[in-house]
Structure 1
Amino acid sequence: MNMVASSRSVERALHLVRLLASAGRRGAALTELASSAALSHTTVHRLLQRLIAERLALQLESKRYALGPLAFELGIAAAAQFDVWQFARSLIRSFANEVGDTVYLVVRSAGEAVCIERADGPSPLRVLTLEAGSRRPLGLGAGGLAILAALPRGEREEAIRSVTPAILSQSTLTRAGLYDAIDRYHRDGYALVRNRVTLGTSAVGVHINDAFGSPVAAISVAAVDSRMAAKRVLALARRLQTASKQIQHTLKDYPVSVR
């Protein structure tokens, strides 16, 4: 195998790992993975067998595929270097108990928002649209929209070109609607998503800057629509803005961007 072909295989395998991370514990079927990766079933099956052999993937009893144990082991090793979010994790757990609903912490990974923490509040009407480790394109959920809107204009336009196809295929949002949502974020200071991904649910989110002032993460609250009247949305947004500033203060000791 020449170097170009080898590099392409690595890129395809890593793309499959990202798709498996997005699928969560339920896993993904071979057909789903092939469609999402725009690869043939044969190619995806071959790459999955290689990933399984390396313990980066596994086949569930349902015949679906999920992340393997090596992914967990690598995550533990990487946490010591990259997990600068200990304070944020603790904060959102307290925040969830106070507001009663589900609170998410997502971080930017190129054109995606990765959920690294979910805290469930005591409300019996919970919204569990994301699991820790799940990935979504920037702009789709409230947290990802907040990050996208806060990017510098040039970087934001590049990101929009990259994520628009995925957003259009995964939600009811249009390209014009995405720009309108970004404009509202700049006006209001928070992102509001209603029934965009999951019917009957709403979410409000605010971005978090790193030590250089770059948007690298977001904190958001999601709840059923009946708990997200306009007055409460505004109150939650103000509390999220305060929490964002508290988290940003803890990141000032990390001079290297946490993206």
Structure 2
Amino acid sequence: MSTQPSRNAGAHQTRWDSALSDSAHASREQTGAAMVVPLARSLAILGAFTPQEPWLGNQEIVFETGIPAPTVSRMARSLVALGYLHYSPAQRKYRLAASVLALGYAAIAHSSVQRLARLEMQSFADASGTYVVLAARDRLDVIVLETCASKPATIDLELHAGARLRIASSPMGWALLAALPELERFYLLGNVERRAGRDWPHLRRRISEGISQTHNAGYCTSLGEWEPDLAIVAAPLVIRDQTPLVLACIGPSAKLGRARVERELGPRLVAAAQHLQEQVLFDD
């Protein structure tokens, strides 16, 4: 199963356009100030690296971000000097360096969310015989933060920490969109529409259905749509003073029928998310 958006000719500039539009809108709404473009471009370069593609050359970074080649070359050298990228002369490519890891660790080290989530997720996975995922939004992607499999595991997914899925085509994305403020969701969907092209009418319908289901039931589902042999149930996890997260369980379609999802798994996943919210508030 592929967890990464596929590359194609039309993908040029999409990550950069998404970051630019997202940040620019948020900046104008909240402060009325112009965006600092060099900073946004530097972050876009760092965001181009993934666990599947840890090494990128200048042209690959240009392809992923849409940033002009001379700018990529100049900024990459600066990021190497600052310790955020490592350059291999033999490969003529870059990869993320330890300073980026330090930033990521600083973001979560003092948060009890993932520590508490691991226990809640493993308990849910073992009781339901599913694969449980905790994820967050990164621009127009959903990025996996934590995974737990039932013991013994019923499925083997390539959804490790750092894996990405498109927010528009994943139930995890729909649940996250449902948890966002309306204005932020409007801007994101505008960016999705520009990227989706002829796929937008279908995506818009499924996104709307997923958001509506989440608002009404507390969770949304995809039974054999996301992947033919898999069913997924996703519920938003909203914790005070933190960006929205999503909790999802995944299992074989044969074992996660609609009746079981509606009777058992959906309500239990919502209850698990609520319990985790309460634990985090008490722990803080």
- Structure 2: how far apart are the matches of 1:44 and 1:209? 36
TM-score (norm 1): 0.76
- In structure 2, relative to structure 1, the CA distance for the partners of 1:226 and 1:134 (3 Å cut) is same
Q: 1:220 Cα shift? A: 0.2
Aligned partner of 2:79 in structure 1 is: 51
- In structure 2, relative to structure 1, the CA distance for the partners of 1:207 and 1:35 (3 Å cut) is same
Is 1:158–2:187 an aligned residue pair? yes
Q: 1:10 Cα shift? A: 2.4
- Structure 2: how far apart are the matches of 1:174 and 1:42? 36
Is 1:193–2:193 an aligned residue pair? no
**Aligned match for 1:72, one of 96, 101, 104:** 101
Aligned partner of 2:63 in structure 1 is: 35
- Structure 2: how far apart are the matches of 1:85 and 1:225? 28
| Count of residue correspondences | 246
- Structure 2: how far apart are the matches of 1:167 and 1:93? 35
SS of alignment partner, residue 226 of structure 1: coil
What pairs up with 1:191-230 in 2 under 5 angstroms?
A: 191-194=220-223, 198=227, 200-211=229-240, 216-230=244-258
Amino acid at match of 2:208: Y
- In structure 2, relative to structure 1, the CA distance for the partners of 1:81 and 1:125 (3 Å cut) is closer
SS of alignment partner, residue 279 of structure 2: helix
Is 1:245–2:245 an aligned residue pair? no
Q: 1:26 Cα shift? A: 3.7
- In structure 2, relative to structure 1, the CA distance for the partners of 1:226 and 1:66 (3 Å cut) is farther
SS of alignment partner, residue 109 of structure 2: helix
Q: 1:139 Cα shift? A: 3.8
SS of alignment partner, residue 211 of structure 1: coil
Q: Would the aligned equivalents of 1:168 and 1:174 in 2 still touch at CA under 8 Å? A: no
Q: Would the aligned equivalents of 2:133 and 2:146 in 1 still touch at CA under 8 Å? A: yes
Which runs of 5 or more residues in structure 2 are unaligned? 1-34
Aligned partner of 1:9 in structure 2 is: 38
Which runs of 5 or more residues in structure 1 are unaligned? 1-5
Aligned partner of 1:126 in structure 2 is: 156
Aligned partner of 1:93 in structure 2 is: 122
Aligned partner of 1:3 in structure 2 is: none
